[in-house]
Amino acid sequence: MSAINNALSELSKSQTTSINDIERVQVQTIKQKPRLPWLIGGFSLSLAVGGWAISLQAPIEQTALTSSSEPITQQAPLSTAALDAITNVPSPTAKVTQASEAIYSAPVKVEVAAVSEPVETNPAAIHDAPRVEVKLKAGQASVVAEKHLRAPEVESPIVQSDTIAAPLTDVSEQSLDNHVMSETSLNEQPLSLAKNSPEQLKRSAAEHFVEEGAIVVEQVELTPTQLSFKAQERAKKALDANNLAEAIAQYNDALRYTPRDSKVRQTLAALYYGKGDARKAVDLLQKGIAIDNDDMNVRLALSKLLLKEQQNAAALTPLVYLPANPSRDYLSLRAALAQKNNQDQLALESYQQLVTIEPENGRWWLGYAIQQERAFELQGAKQAYQQALTKVGVSSQSQQFIRDRLSVLNRLEEQPSAD
């Protein structure tokens, strides 16, 4: 054990000695270069590149805008003597365009007055350009145009030409108008025809030029029928909203516009009756009968309203009048009320027309037979009873009643007093 301890102590001493012999190393600190100058330099470089790119694009766009806004046609002012010389003679120098466009109609030769000296133009002279008249000898087309232009100073020499001969194509009046209108829109100047008055030119400009996004307010006068329809729509909306007073007011307006509208009158009368104002409903229907005496619908509505009020005698009054072509409903209600109120003549007349309108209905034959029997027309009543037995619409009880009446009529015929 002592040997081990000695070895360990020697080992520890040797390690301590080696540790003490280690010297500290001096390491120099690395200096970092400043980043701010690089950042500023990169930003400045990017700005320079961007400005250079924008400066390259700006002249191109400006050139494109300038070329597109240049007027297509430039005219040189001519003196009065020159205008007199070229009157009724076409001149190729009347319009100088960047893209030449020929107007053809037929192979013709056009003589042009020769002018040797060029004419210098200025903005003031171009502002009031002269009137140029072009006529073709063949009589194909005649264009007279007067145009106001504003353009920079240019020199437009008048070209001398002896003849112009070219194959001509079909030219319509619409193509000429479109060409002149396109030139006017590019130069933003009004186009006027020399032979038209200023008032006609204003009307023409108002017809052809409409500002984009403009609002046109036009007053339209509605007919009474349209006004009545609008009022009925408002009344229906008021009924949907359970606003009875507003609905009645709107139907009154509709009836004021179209007093002969029986449907509106009946609807308004029904609203008054539902409100509990039966007197107002009756008066409204009576006014409708006074306006149109042949309106069967209003008469039927008034008769049914009086029946609901338990006024049977008064309910027959609107139906006493017989129109030219009465309906089945009108005749059936008229016959039933007349029979109930012992108005045999009215009932007989009504049933007689009913069997003519609907000969296959047994009920009308039965009513007709009863009225004939009351009028002591026994033979006619017997035939009507027999017709009722063979037709549809008669119940078993009614058939038994018919057989009883036939037996009674047969006995009356057998008695001497029946003659």
Over the stretch 297-306, which tens digit does the pLDDT of each residue have? 999 999 999 9
Nearest to 132 by CA among 184, 74, 205, 179: 74
Which residue ranges make up each domain of the chain? Answer: 75-207, 324-419
Q: Is the pLDDT of residue 71 over 70?
A: no
Q: Which is higher by pLDDT, 256 or 214?
A: 256
Beta-carbon contacts of residue 303 (< 8 Å; ≥ 6 apart): 315, 316, 318, 319, 333, 337
Tens of pLDDT, residues 133-149: 434 333 443 333 333 43
Q: Is the pLDDT of residue 20 over 70?
A: no
Helix axes 262-275, 296-308, angle to 10 degrees: 10
Confidence of residue 296 (pLDDT cuts 50, 70, 90): very high
Q: Is 32 helix (H, G, I), strand (E, B) or coil?
A: coil
Least confident of 152-161, 295-304, 321-330: 152-161
Tens of pLDDT, residues 374-392: 988 888 999 999 999 998 8
- Report the C-alpha gap between 232 and 253 in whole angstroms: 9
Q: Residue 5: what pLDDT?
A: 82
Q: Residue 213: what pLDDT?
A: 56
Q: Which is higher by pLDDT, 309 or 140?
A: 309
- Report the C-alpha gap between 419 and 406 in whole angstroms: 17
Q: Is the pLDDT of residue 311 over 70?
A: yes
161, exposed or middle or buried, with CB in 10 Å at 0-12, 13-18, 19+?
A: middle
What's the farthest any 2 CA atoms get from each other in the chain?
181
- Report the C-alpha gap between 250 and 295 in whole angstroms: 23
- Report the C-alpha gap between 338 and 353 in whole angstroms: 14
Q: Which is higher by pLDDT, 244 or 84?
A: 244
Strand order from edge to edge, sheet including 142-147 = 132-135, 142-147, 191-193
The pTM of the full predicted model, rounded to 2 decimals, is 0.49
Helix axes 378-390, 396-414, angle to 10 degrees: 150
* Average pLDDT, integer, range 73-102: 49
Confidence of residue 158 (pLDDT cuts 50, 70, 90): very low
Q: Residue 129: what pLDDT?
A: 42
Tens of pLDDT, residues 177-207: 444 444 444 344 444 444 455 556 556 555 5
CATH architecture for segment(s) 324-419: Alpha Horseshoe (1.25)
Q: How many CB atoms lie within 10 A of CB 86?
A: 21
Q: Residue 7: what pLDDT?
A: 81
Q: Is the pLDDT of residue 76 over 50?
A: no
CB 384 within 8 A of CB 369: yes
